[in-house]
Amino acid sequence: MQLILFWAFALLTLVFGGGVVINRNPVASALNLVVSFLGLAALFMLLDAFFIGVIQVLIYAGAVMVLFLFIIMLFNLRAEKLRRINWPAAAGGIAVAIAFLSQVFYVVGRFKPAQQRFPPLTGSKIDDVHNIGRLLFDSYNLPFQIIGVLVLVASIGVIVLSTRQLR
């Protein structure tokens, strides 16, 4: 059952991820991206990472995608016109992508632990929000506060960028 679910959600993620790249209309790309993110959240939950799955839905499928759709609507973008394709650049991009993919297959094929199944979770209380929260505030307290400053800087930067007029 879990194997069927894994392949179903993996296929969903990959097909709609491909749709992001293939679609010519930016709105269709953004909606494909939402479905791809939802499939990925389901994959996280199959890996017993419920907290990560939930924040994936909340932040990516919620906040980030609304931002993308908002910008697309603001610009009133339509399907882009087909321009002359820069063939050497396109061929180079495809060649590097294929080389990367074959390298991934080679490395994963030779990686011995990759054939093993996941060990069963035997912990008495699998409470991952609790455990991640403890780890975040105990061991990763300083990085957590630095992330807070980063988000503050990003929001100030966005305000500065959107008020200043670029010539």
Q: Shortest distance, CB of residue 96 to another protein, whole angstroms?
A: 7
| Cα–Cα distance, 148 to 146 (Å, whole number) | 5
State the burial class of residue 36 (Cβ atoms within 10 Å of its Cβ: 0-12, 13-18, 19+).
buried
Site for another protein in 20-49 (CB under 8 A): 20-21, 26, 29-30, 33, 36-37, 40, 43-44, 46-49
| Cα–Cα distance, 70 to 68 (Å, whole number) | 5
Nearest Cα neighbor of 39 from 71, 64, 7 is 7
Q: Which of 8, 73, 78, 154 binds another protein (CB under 8 A)?
A: 154
Residue 82 is a binding residue for another protein (CB under 8 A):
no
Q: Which of 87, 88, 122, 142 binds another protein (CB under 8 A)?
A: 122
Q: Shortest distance, CB of residue 28 to another protein, whole angstroms?
A: 10
Residue 108 is a binding residue for another protein (CB under 8 A):
yes
| Cα–Cα distance, 139 to 133 (Å, whole number) | 10
